[in-house]
DNA sequence: GCAGGACATTCGAATATTGTTATGTCGTGA
DNA sequence: TCACGACATAACAATATTCGAATGTCCTGC
């Protein structure tokens, strides 16, 4: 049902697309579609340097795609609820598509191999 | 129904998003969601210089979002059918969202005010 | 063939984005 | 309070993107 899409803020939509127009950030969103993760998870699962992981997450946060919370030493990231109905629908489609992909599944497996999804180390 | 989304080529998806991560190009897609148009239409409706209109259309074409055909002196652009099921779904959502927006409606009205949707001049 | 219109491409300067190295901040545990 | 780990930010060079001006290509009408 597309009735939820009642508005479209062009500026917000372009920011949304721009943030997702990068393979690394798409892979981050793919991992997050399986649940909450902290920065070190992205480093190991995607082979990113620590500053790079942090910055890509910052880009996604600026675009309103992810949000974070601190828990002790760690900062956990999760997909942010979308205020804009259009972005909400797009992100939903994206997340559902991420349930089936091979390459991205390798990322998830690399993540699970390194450590359980809850504990950091 | 999202059953059509059986694959997700991450590289193609990021190219797709990257091309749409720009306000001008989103407005172009908005106009195209109402039908086929030639370059001069974008110039007048969106206030773009000729080289800029051409270039933005080129970006969208490289990403496989639009395709073009020549008719006499004019080159007509239209939305391209999406091969990738994921991009197809995303573009569909985008087009359906463009049916309701105010700002973008101004673009369309500016387009129609300048000239009929079929004749160039 | 020639002139002119419609569009594409090239070039160059300004600006933005990228990844790495170095450094800063914050919370934890001793 | 001090050292350390997790993360963020700054600083930098390399690269990419942006737009306008100039130029090139293709088609049409004469």
- Which tens digit of pLDDT belongs to each residue from A21-75? 999 999 999 999 989 999 999 999 999 999 999 999 999 999 999 999 999 999 9
In a domain, B5, yes or no: no
Residue B4 domain-assigned (yes or no): no
CB B14 within 8 A of CB A20: yes
Residue A38's beta-bridge partner residues?
Answer: A76
The answer to whether residue A75 sits within a structural domain is yes
Percent of chain B with pLDDT over 70: 87
Domain membership flag for residue B22:
yes
pLDDT digits (tens, 9 = 90+) for B83-108: 988 999 999 999 999 887 777 888 88
- Is A55 domain-assigned? yes
Distance CA B29, CA A55 (A): 30
Which domain does A71 fall in, by range?
A: 10-110
Identify protein residues whose C-beta is within 7 angstroms of any atom in strand C: A 18, 22, 24, 48-52, 55-56, 59, 70, 72-73; B 38-40, 43, 50-51, 53-55, 57-58, 68, 73-75, 120-121
Q: Does B18 touch chain A (CB under 8 A)?
A: yes
pLDDT recorded at residue A106? 85
Q: For B31, left (φ over 0), alpha (ψ -120 to 50), or beta?
A: alpha
B40, B116 contact by CB (below 8 A) = no
CA distance B104 to chain A (A): 8
In a domain, A119, yes or no: no
């Amino acid at each position: 049902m597309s009735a939820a899409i009642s508005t479209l803020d062009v500026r917000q939509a372009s920011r949304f697309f721009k943030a997702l127009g990068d393979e690394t950030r798409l892979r981050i969103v793919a991992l997050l579609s399986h649940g909450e993760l902290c920065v070190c998870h992205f480093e190991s699962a995607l082979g990113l340097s620590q500053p790079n992981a942090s910055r890509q997450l910052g880009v996604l946060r600026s675009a309103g795609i992810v949000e974070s919370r601190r828990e002790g030493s760690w900062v956990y990231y999760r997909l942010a609820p979308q205020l804009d109905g259009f972005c909400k629908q797009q992100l939903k489609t994206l997340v559902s598509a991420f349930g089936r992909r091979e390459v991205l599944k390798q990322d998830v497996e690399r993540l699970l191999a390194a450590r359980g999804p809850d504990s950091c180390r």
